[in-house]
Structure formats: C-alpha cells, structure tokens
Structure 1
C-alpha cells in the first residue's frame, strides 16, 4: 500500500487510498472500505461493499497495466455511498463477453450490476474509473 486510508477534506465526506497493483491490494481495499463504512455507522453495507471493491480492485490488478490503483469511498447521502476504483490503463473498455455455465471467472462485473444500485465505467484522461453506488436501504447481501 502506498499510503494509508486518509480522510477527504471536511467538505467532502469520504476516504481515499492508493495501492500498489499487486495481489494484496484487494484485501487492503476491503479492510479500508469496511473501516470507512463502519465509521459512518453503515455497517449493513460492509459485506456488499467488501465484495464489490474486491472484484473491482482485482480487475484493475489482473486486467490492466496499472502500477497504482486508487479507491475512494464517499458518503453521498444518509444511507448511500459511492465507491470508485481508478486505474491508469488507457486501453479501450470492452463489455464482458457471454459466459458459459462452466466458466469459473469473469463474473465480477455481473456481481457489481446485481448488487449495486447504480454502477458505471468511465474513461478519464489518466485511465479509467469504475464506480458503484450502494444504498443501506436496498442491501441484498
């Protein structure tokens, strides 16, 4: 991990952490996001958030050439949060291919789609960001 989870400025309720793109990054991100949600009293989101951030960070580690991955979690309302995973890979974003019943990987974004209230992928000048919004009133895990 490059730096610990740090609070965002006072006018932006959120946390930011940057991780070296290696196999320990998903676990570190899970821990940090859970800590942020717990500090806001949103424990009911922890399990879902840990699963989704793990999937998104793993995708960035495995499928990009990024050296650093950043994760932000922002409180966007009384019961809602937005999680953003950003990498520096500038390759074209392609939708997931159809998976056969016997495929053992490639379902991460399907989990995000099923469990998040909203989600998306955006190209930015420095790479791309994948985000999802969770609502404690609509928890499915």
Structure 2
C-alpha cells in the first residue's frame, strides 16, 4: 500500500499507511506522520507525534505477532490530531506495569500517557488499536 496524505472530498484530512512489522517500521511511520503534520500546517506537533508513533509502532512490532502495523493520523479538529496504531494482537488489553529504574524497556505507554493530551487502548474485531491525541497549544495574546 502506498503511503499518502489523503485528500478526501468529505471528512477530515487523514494519513493512512501499513508498515511491515520489522525494526524499520517505527522510523518509516515517524517520517510519514511528520510529513502529514507539516502538510497540514501543524509542524509544532511533529516532534511529539514522532515520539508517540515511534513508541506505539515499536510496541506493535516487538510485543505482537502482527505482520502489518497500521497507522492512521486524522486531523479531527483545527488544532487536534489523532494518531492510531492498529495491530492484529488478540491478547487481552493490559495495564502496563511500572518498570524498575534498572530496566531498559517497558516505558513506552508511560511516555505516551505523559506526552499525549488523551489516549486509550481499544479492542476491535481485527485486534486492537491504540490511539492518542495531540492539541496545539494556543498562545495567549
């Protein structure tokens, strides 16, 4: 599937891509998400969005047996984007345990919770989706 910023005649602007679940997928997803945000004039969200999508795609690649990982970024409001990462993992949704200070991994969802304005994990027929939203911060005059 070709990665593209989709200009639909109706509905909000969106970017959709599927990535083969391999170690290069997080980097590929970062580039696609950053391109979409810059296209929409939301460059100020790009750095945070790249970290979030990287963490979510990495989790899907490392912790599931999904062959493909889907990424959807939708501009749901003038100043808000929603990033969704979809995989085919059918395991029960879990609440992440707090990793100890010595562990080198296990902090991805804690990072998502800290950086995103909102986020959640949802079961879907085909597996699960993890989404997060970012709002631009309006500068007060």
With the length of structure 2 as denominator, give the TM-score of the two structures.
Answer: 0.93
Structure 2: where are the runs of 5+ without partners?
none
Query: Which 4+ runs in 1 deviate beyond 4 A?
Result: none
1:92 maps to 92
Residue 101 of structure 1: how far off its partner (Å): 1.4
Residue 6 of structure 1: how far off its partner (Å): 4.3
CA distance in structure 1 between the partners assigned to 2:117 and 2:7 by the alignment: 23
Matches of residues 1-141 of structure 1 in structure 2 within 5 Å? 2-7=1-6, 9-12=8-11, 13-137=13-137
Judged with a 3 Å threshold, the aligned counterparts in structure 2 of structure 1 residues 59 and 8 are, in CA distance, closer, same or farther, namely farther
Q: Secondary structure at the match of 2:137?
A: helix
Structure 1: where are the runs of 5+ without partners?
none
Q: Deviations over 1:86-120 (max 9, x none)?
A: 00111111111121111111001011101101000
Q: Secondary structure at the match of 1:93?
A: coil
How many equivalent residue pairs? 137
